[in-house]
Amino acid sequence: MTTQVTLEETGAPQPPSAPAPGVRRSGTWRLGWSGVRTVAVLELRQRVRSTRWIVALVVWFVVVGAITLLTTGALGALSGSEGAAPEDTGPLLFSAVTFLVLGLGLLVTPTLTSTGINGDRNAGTLATLQVTLLSPAEIAVGKLLAAWAAACAFLVTSVPFLVLALAMGGTPAWSIVRVVVLVALLLAAVCGIGLGWSALIARTAGSTVLTFVTVAGLVLFTPLLFGLTYPSVTHERDVRIWTENASGTGCEWETVTMSVADTQHTWWLLGLNPFVVVADGAGTAEGVEENNFYPDEPLGAIRQGVRQLRAGETFDRDQCWSAGPGAVSPVPPPTFSRAPVWPWGLAANLALGAVGFVVAVRRLQVPQRTLARGTRVA
């Protein structure tokens, strides 16, 4: 006499069940935690079992640690030779580690989602999920959360090096929280972009390339476009200059025609850049601009520079270099823009990720009316 043992009796995880005849499938945008968790757990288990992902995580930790230690040694030698205090080199190290973590994250994250849908479709495993009661939104959210969790794993391994830079002094404690949150949200946006290209392009190589091109456009093409549009926003304007008079005995106002760039119309091109988003939102060297035009550390300098471009040029300038000490200039001191740039840039990046997510959900609908030649649903 044989005994049958079911999966429920053994406690083993059961695969998603196919819809029974007459059972209505859930809507396209219907979301349930059970369905999202099922897809996310399946995705994460595949990544954990992959040796390449573990190797990549170890290599990430070694590379970030090695560059951080080398930078620390270089800054230590520089501060020893020039008599700089650790509080002066700490912000430099924090900026270097922040840019390193963000740059490597933008290189690694596209590979986590750019093949998430077309790779499973080509392998014939995507149809297993599509014929179940899981909605397209649940499949897309599960894959997105799994990829974002994997990307955040790389970010978490970098936190000790950010703490090391913070311990050197000169950087506000809340800056590390801001940096980690902003980088995590930007990585989520990249995950959404990669998921959208994965659903739209049939070949995995094509979706991976397009994801990298999109990220490169945000990082490299935005400052390039800003530079290319600079002549188009530059116009001849009358500018008042407080300058030395002809006799050299004092200073007087002089109106001259100069080229002035109306960067308040094109600053948003730089605001899209993920590095500008993190630099503006990091909150380092706040208040330094009251005494200096630009802060000494890179994050603060980028923040102040972009904010000044957003405010535009001033038309009264002080060029009376011969004025002695104690002389009062009629030109008011420069005002520094306090308007933050990072909310705009972060919202734009997240909007791109949201567009990719919506495309992925729509392409996961069954039946799908349009498919690329040579692809299949099941």
Query: Residues with Cβ < 8 Å from 166, sequence gap 6 or more?
Result: 90, 94, 173, 175, 176
Strand 251-261 versus strand 316-319 pairing type: unpaired
CA atoms of 277 and 371, how far apart (whole Å): 37
CA distance 215 to 343: 19
| CA 122 – CA 136 distance, rounded (Å) | 18
Domain ranges within the chain, ordered by starting residue: 28-227+343-363, 234-319
The 3-state DSSP class for residue 203 equals coil
Each of the 378 residues of the chain gets a pLDDT tens digit; together they read 444 444 344 444 455 544 444 444 457 888 888 889 999 999 888 877 777 778 888 999 999 999 998 888 888 776 665 555 556 688 889 999 999 999 999 999 998 889 999 988 888 888 888 888 889 999 999 999 999 999 999 999 999 999 998 888 888 889 999 999 999 999 999 999 999 999 999 899 999 999 999 999 999 999 999 999 999 998 888 888 888 777 767 788 888 888 888 898 999 999 999 999 999 999 876 655 555 456 778 898 899 889 888 888 777 777 777 665 556 777 776 666 778 899 999 999 999 999 999 999 999 887 666 666 655 555
103-118 confidence digits (pLDDT tens): 999 999 998 889 999 9
Tokens of 46: 């595949």
Per-residue pLDDT of 155-168, as tens digits, reads 999 999 999 988 88
Separation CA 185–CA 353 (nearest Å): 10
CA distance 191 to 350: 10
Helical residues (DSSP H) of the chain, grouped into ranges:
7-10, 33-49, 51-82, 86-108, 110-113, 118-123, 126-130, 136-167, 174-200, 204-216, 222-229, 267-271, 274-281, 298-311, 342-363
